Amino acid sequence: MRNEASPESSKREAAVSNLAHRRAYRSTCGYCKATSRTSVAQSLWAYTLRVHDYQVLLDRGWRRSGMSVYQPNMQRTCCPAYTIRLEVDAFSPSKDQARVLRRMQRYLDGTYEGPVTVGEIQKDDQKLTSQRPGKVTSNSSPATPSDKDQSVNEKLLSNGRQNSGKKRQPDVLDESGRKLSLAIQCSIAGCVELGVLSPDFNQQDVTVRKFAEKAHGKLKDLDGQVEYTSNVAFAIAAAMKRKRNGTVQIDQRLGIDNETGLSKEELLPEHIAEILASRLQHSDLCGLIVQACKGHLNFLMSESKAGSDTSSPMEVSTSQGDPAQGVHQCEPRKQPLQEANGQKGGTQKLLVAPRLTVKTRQLEIKMQKSAFDAEEFALYKKYQIIVHNDRPEEVNENSYRGFLIDTPLIYVPPESNGSTPACGFGSFHQQYRIDGKLVAVGVVDILPHCLSSKYLFWDPDLSFLSLGKYTALSEIKWVQEASKVCPSLKYYYLGYYIHSCPKMRYKAAYAPSELLCPVRYTWVPYNLVRSHLDDSPFVCLSDVAVSKALASENGGKVPPSEHEDKEEVEAM
């Protein structure tokens, strides 16, 4: 019978895996930082490797690095490494993972510019979660005081009262002054939600004062008559600086305060006042307009308002969406009163509030076959030097190629019969670009049953976007979509889970995950064996699963496992 297969198909069928055995080896451990060579593993050198064969090796606890395929000696190594995977159809993002997705969306929408570092974002997220269980969306508006805004602001104010040296007596204000004070409070609460301010900063009460007549002559840059003023930006800036305790240095590479997570410019009252003024433009200010001047929030009356008791002189902004969008691009209004025509009966003077400019961004994710790319290597070098503190001379092209470019996997091009995803099987680099700039690269292997995540490097300048988490969620989404074309693709492999290393436990957050038993090579739910990993670094996971299943049938009594019996016999 004649074979009608294509030449490429025949070539793939003829291809075989070619591996050479290499002896077991010891090395220093990068997880427990032991000074001696306590990490024990065995390895194979793969000249060629079929994707189906590598899938089998993955399910036996092996993993590749370049052309080398290795497996930890689980009973002898210092930090046992369990293969971990996730069935993507069962995945449901946690609150923290959902926040990462929302933060990226706000960044792309132009409503978030990332003023803080990853560590500060995580700390703020935890505190905000405990205060407000609801979602934060890019369309939320604090234009009117809500219970949520007031609850956040009450914490801000209570912190200020508890930590201030002496009690401040609140000024006696009229109705307009009280409304302005409440509007500022809501503006601060909105900044907390966006991550611009942190709720644990100690702050003074928001104060609004009637503007003194004798001070009018000192403010030459203002347009209109000042009615009220507030110096709340100075109180916020002072509280943020106190948090530094006078001992924290600015990171010269990133320009970020290591303690507060803010740059020098963002600690200035002028910067804080401009942000608050941007949000206040969309609030009810009793017919007044707000302007930031040298760190003060000044509330002015337009000439038309001063001359008559007619309606508000403020022009309606054409900006749509989140009132905080573009706050970092917003600049104080410099122009005097502008003439606006179109009103029947003549010309009316309008005081135009500064319009917020929104810079939207475009994210592009592209899967490419593994190959050297100079732009990728430049990003990798920057990442290794800044994030992992590698010396520049250590990060060279040869080591990069051997680690992330060279692959033994035999590429399988896409088929139209549902046996492969659209990109085929093999080794790939998934590029993430924002407005054309490369910001992250995920190095992955796509196999018959899974996407295996190998390595990730990203732009340290965008650390506030939590790109490690975002790209993992994107890879999970990719498998979910690819499975519609190739039904055999069901899993996302996250590499090794090392319970004895706290930094590696984050992988279990992509739930419900499974761990590979190192003895019987069966998959066991992570939640079922988590507590046992606290007691011993090496565990026969399948025995734990069987014991718990029998215990549930026997009313809670746990029988000895087969593995334990075997060890006792061997010891006799």
Identity of residue 36: S
Structure tokens at 311: 């309606």
Integer Rg of the chain from CA: 30
Question: Residue 332: what pLDDT?
Answer: 34
**10 Å Cβ neighbour count for 100?**
21
- Angle, to 10 degrees, between the axis of helix 147-163 and the axis of helix 175-194? 90
Question: Residue 355: what pLDDT?
Answer: 39
| β strands within 302-449, DSSP E | 338-340, 348-350, 363-369, 426-434, 437-446
* pLDDT higher than threshold 60 for residue 107: yes
Question: Residue 453: what pLDDT?
Answer: 97
> In sequence order, what are the residues at sequence separation of 6 or more whose Cβ sits closer than 8 angstroms to the Cβ of residue 46?
17, 18, 19, 64, 67, 68, 69, 408
Least confident residue range of 42-56, 170-184, 244-258? 244-258
Give the up-direction half-sphere exposure of residue 92: CA atoms within 13 A in the CB hemisphere.
3
Question: Residue 22: what pLDDT?
Answer: 78
Question: Residue 350: what pLDDT?
Answer: 30
Q: What is the pLDDT of residues 410-469, one digit of tens each?
A: 999 999 888 999 999 999 999 999 999 999 999 999 999 999 999 999 999 999 999 999
Q: What is the pLDDT of residues 535-563, one digit of tens each?
A: 888 999 998 888 777 776 666 555 554 44
Q: What is the mean pLDDT of residues 565-571?
A: 40
Give me the residue label for tokens 């409304």: 179
Among residues of the chain, what percentage have pLDDT more than 70? Answer: 64
- What is d(CA 145, CA 152) in angstroms, rounded to the nearest whole number? 11
- The torsion angles phi and psi of 517, rounded to 5 degrees, stand at -65, 125
Q: Give bridge partners of residue 516 from the DSSP assignment.
A: 523
> In sequence order, what are the residues at sequence separation of 6 or more whose Cβ sits closer than 8 angstroms to the Cβ of residue 196?
115, 275, 327
| CA nearest to 48, candidates 427, 310, 451 | 427
Rounded to whole angstroms, the maximal C-alpha distance in the chain is 107
**Burial bucket for residue 144 (CB in 10 Å: 0-12, 13-18, 19+):** exposed
- The torsion angles phi and psi of 508, rounded to 5 degrees, stand at -75, -10
> Of 256-260, 303-307, 325-329, 497-501, where does the model show the most confidence?
497-501
**Residue 551 C-alpha from the chain's centroid:** 41
pLDDT band at residue 257 using 50, 70 and 90 as cut-offs: very low
* pLDDT higher than threshold 60 for residue 157: no
What is the dihedral sign for C-alpha 52, 54, 55, 56?
A: positive
* pLDDT higher than threshold 80 for residue 37: yes
* pLDDT higher than threshold 90 for residue 151: no
CB 333 within 8 A of CB 291: yes
- What is d(CA 209, CA 28) in angstroms, rounded to the nearest whole number? 65
pLDDT band at residue 95 using 50, 70 and 90 as cut-offs: very high
Among residues of the chain, what percentage have pLDDT more than 90? Answer: 42
Q: What is the pLDDT of residues 271-299, one digit of tens each?
A: 888 888 877 877 778 888 888 888 888 88
Question: Residue 142: what pLDDT?
Answer: 34
Give the up-direction half-sphere exposure of residue 547: CA atoms within 13 A in the CB hemisphere.
18
Q: Give bridge partners of residue 41 from the DSSP assignment.
A: 25, 72
Distances (CA, A) of 333 to 96, 191, 295, 299, 356: 38, 21, 14, 13, 11
pLDDT band at residue 198 using 50, 70 and 90 as cut-offs: low
Structure tokens at 522: 């069966």
Distances (CA, A) of 334 to 321, 338, 355, 540: 25, 11, 12, 71
- What is d(CA 182, CA 168) in angstroms, rounded to the nearest whole number? 17
Residue 560 or 58, more confident = 58
Residue 13 or 527, more confident = 527
Query: How do 289-293 and 256-257 pair as beta strands?
Result: unpaired
Does an H or E element contain 227, and which?
Answer: strand 225-230
pLDDT band at residue 213 using 50, 70 and 90 as cut-offs: low
* pLDDT higher than threshold 50 for residue 501: yes
CB 412 within 8 A of CB 12: yes
* pLDDT higher than threshold 90 for residue 105: yes
Q: What is the mean pLDDT of residues 324-337?
A: 33
CB 142 within 8 A of CB 187: yes
Residue 240 or 219, more confident = 240
Question: Residue 61: what pLDDT?
Answer: 96
The whole-model pTM stands at 0.58
Least confident residue range of 220-224, 447-451, 472-476, 510-514? 220-224
Give the mean pLDDT of the chain. 74
Question: Residue 565: what pLDDT?
Answer: 44
Q: What is the mean pLDDT of residues 181-207?
A: 69
Q: What is the mean pLDDT of residues 236-255?
A: 54
Q: What is the mean pLDDT of residues 65-87?
A: 95
Q: What is the mean pLDDT of residues 127-143?
A: 36
